[in-house]
Amino acid sequence: MPITQAAAAANRLIEALPRTDRRHILAACEPVELAFAEVLAEPGERIRHVFFPTTSYISLVTPIDGCASLEVGLVGDEGMLGISLILGVDISPLSALVQGEGLALRIEATSFRRELGLSPALHGVLKRYLHVVMGQLAQSSACTRFHVV
C-alpha cells in the first residue's frame, strides 16, 4: 500500500526530513494498524521492526521485580519505537505496549539500519530525538522521586 504524503506528515520525525530523505525512508516503510494492548517488544528480545506512530501511541514499560511494572515513556507521532538501533543496540530494554490504537509506519530493523547509514539527515534528526527522550526520562525520574502523585 503506498504511503501518502499526509500519512508521512503525521509522524513528525519523518516530516522533519528533507524531501529526498523522506521519500527514501517512506519507500522502505509499510503502514500498519496497531491494536490496543498489542505487544510490540519485550525486554531482552531482538528488535525486528521500528515503528513511527502516526495516529497511535505506544507505552514503554519496565518490569520491576518480575511482578510489577512502571511506565517510563510514551511514544506518539513525535517519535519512534526502536531508537536504540541508532546506538547499535538491537535488543529491547523495555516492553512496548500499544495504548492508543491507530496507524503507524513500520520498517524492518535491517532496512532501518541501512537507511540510517545512507541518510545523514535521518541520523541527525534521530540523534536530536534521542537527546529529548533522555531529558524526558531524567525529568520523569526526578518527578517520580520527589513528587507525590
Residues forming beta bridges with residue 41, ordered by sequence position: 96
65, with CB counted inside 10 A (0-12, 13-18, 19+), is: exposed
Tally of helices (H runs) and strands (E runs) in the chain: 5, 7
Residue 57 has which C-alpha cell? Answer: 501511541
What distance in Å separates the CA atoms of residue 120 and residue 100, rounded to the nearest whole number? 31
- State the pLDDT at residue 136: 86
**Total tally of structural domains belonging to the chain:** 1
- State the pLDDT at residue 119: 97
- State the pLDDT at residue 44: 95
Confirm whether 146 is domain-assigned.
no
CATH number of the domain encompassing residue 95:
2.60.120.10
| Cα 144 from chain centroid (whole Å) | 23
- Which range of residues forms the domain containing residue 134? 5-109+116-141
Question: Angle CA(112)–CA(115)–CA(118) in degrees, nearest 5?
Answer: 155
Written as tens digits, the pLDDT of the chain (149 aa) is: 555 555 555 899 999 999 999 999 999 999 999 999 999 999 999 999 999 999 999 999 998 887 788 889 999 999 999 999 999 999 999 999 999 999 999 999 999 999 999 999 999 999 999 999 989 888 887 887 788 86
Confirm whether 147 is domain-assigned.
no
| Cα 42 from chain centroid (whole Å) | 14
